[in-house]
């Protein structure tokens, strides 16, 4: 006996079609509702006053909406990556967000963020790189050329205006002759068009504050160095060293000579006074009358001789533990020969002259 499945009656077909239509309607309603919800989330979850902290973000060329949304979320500008992407898609801004440097605030409404990114950056910035070891004059020259900061204005403040910044940076209160040398931290800065010398200096001092927390200042203090002396020592290391591996060794030599009350005899301190990087100093050079002359005055100079980077600051605070007392440049790769006694040092000097000439 075979079983046969009876065909659906016309009535059954109509009922199933009705169910299917209702199901489609429900799905459509849910999709539309979800879209409305996401738009509302995009608008309302961060639709505040925009009065949060200032955030400067650089959107790189080629970044897509997802990458931009992630960057904005990690910086606190927006609160919801998915909402941002949905809003950008619905508003037809997907693929139209422009690269550049933007000034946002945390907690901005997504609608405002998308609008800004769609229009493009309205403020121009210059990226200026300040290398480790630059002195105030070099920094001022570069800022004028690359960011339009008047050189005379910057030099005037940087060389004598420490008291003006001491309220927010108390360590500047005793700066030698009011100079900011040593505290203008070297890095790449994005400088807004129209910025003043004072604003740029404040930016650099703030960066110093952010970096110095990585340095064991307490250890240096226990060793008898205050912050100004630590930065001064670091500035000498910065000018004397070419290889990162040698910074702690040069620091060790300086610390050891300070401990034995010896003249430091650091060429870079003379070069700072002379305003050049003469490879070999003359007998006349080392007799120059200056508080920075470490050939004729014991101890550290009264202030930094350059603006050191983080590696030199760390080396100044944490020197290698050695008995070294001398060093001389003997390698064309920038390497030095380090010695514990005068006889070996004199032999190394002869080697230096063979390598580099008289």
Would you say residue 273 has pLDDT above 60? yes
pLDDT mean over 26-37: 55
For the chain, give every residue range classified as CATH 3.30.1490.480: 54-119
pLDDT mean over 125-133: 95
Would you say residue 29 has pLDDT above 70? no
Would you say domain 125-212 falls under CATH 3.30.1490? Answer: yes
Name the pTM for this structure: 0.76
Dump strand ranges (E) for the chain.
54-59, 100-105, 125-129, 188-192, 326-329, 336-339
In this structure, of 46-50, 269-273, 277-281, 316-320, the range with the lowest mean pLDDT score is 46-50
Condensed to tens digits (0 to 9), the pLDDT of residues 178-195 reads: 999 999 999 999 999 999
Taking Cα atoms as reference points, which of 175, 154, 153 lies closest to residue 163?
175
Would you say residue 259 has pLDDT above 90? yes
**Coil vs helix vs strand at 189:** strand
Residue whose entry in the numeric block shows the structure tokens 């940076």:
169
Q: What is the mean pLDDT of the chain?
A: 88
Do 171 and 294 touch, CB atoms closer than 8 A?
Answer: no
Would you say residue 214 has pLDDT above 60? yes
Would you say residue 40 has pLDDT above 60? no
Would you say residue 14 has pLDDT above 70? no
Q: What is the DSSP letter of 59?
A: E
CATH architecture of 54-119: 2-Layer Sandwich (3.30)
Contacts of 142 (CB under 8 A, 6+ apart): 128, 130, 134
The pLDDT score that the predictor gives to residue 77 is: 95
Condensed to tens digits (0 to 9), the pLDDT of residues 224-234 reads: 899 999 999 99
Here the tokens at position 267 are 């060429």
């Amino acid at each position: 006996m075979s079983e046969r499945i009876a065909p659906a009656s016309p009535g059954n077909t109509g009922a199933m079609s009705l169910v299917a239509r209702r199901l489609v309607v429900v799905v459509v309603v849910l999709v539309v509702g979800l879209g409305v919800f996401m738009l509302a989330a995009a608008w309302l979850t961060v639709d505040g006053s925009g009065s949060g902290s200032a955030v400067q973000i650089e959107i790189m060329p080629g970044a897509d909406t997802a990458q931009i949304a992630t960057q904005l979320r990690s910086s606190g500008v927006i609160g919801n990556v998915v909402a941002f992407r949905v809003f950008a898609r619905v508003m037809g801004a997907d693929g139209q967000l422009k690269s550049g440097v933007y000034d946002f605030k945390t907690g901005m409404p997504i609608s405002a963020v998308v609008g800004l990114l769609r229009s493009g950056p309205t403020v121009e910035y210059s990226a200026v790189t300040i290398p480790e070891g630059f002195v105030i004059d070099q920094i001022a020259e570069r800022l004028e050329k690359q960011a339009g900061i008047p050189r005379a204005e910057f030099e005037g403040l940087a060389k004598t205006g420490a008291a003006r910044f001491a309220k927010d940076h108390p360590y500047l209160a005793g700066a030698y002759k009011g100079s900011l040398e040593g505290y203008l931290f070297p890095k790449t800065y994005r400088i807004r068009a129209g910025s003043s010398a004072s604003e740029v200096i404040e930016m650099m001092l703030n960066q110093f504050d952010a970096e110095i927390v990585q340095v064991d200042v307490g250890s240096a203090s226990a060793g008898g160095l205050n912050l100004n002396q630590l930065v001064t020592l670091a500035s000498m290391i910065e000018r004397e060293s070419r290889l990162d591996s040698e910074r702690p060794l040069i620091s060790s030599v300086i610390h050891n000579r300070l401990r034995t009350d010896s003249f430091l005899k650091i060429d870079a301190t003379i070069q700072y006074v002379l305003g050049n990087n003469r490879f070999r100093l003359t007998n006349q050079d080392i007799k120059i009358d200056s508080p920075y002359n470490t050939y004729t005055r014991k101890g550290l100079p009264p202030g930094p001789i350059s603006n050191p980077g983080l590696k030199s600051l760390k080396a100044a605070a944490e020197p290698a533990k050695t008995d070294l007392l001398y060093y001389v440049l003997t390698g064309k790769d920038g390497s030095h020969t380090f010695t514990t006694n005068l006889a070996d040092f004199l032999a190394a000097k002869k080697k230096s002259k063979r390598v580099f000439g008289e």
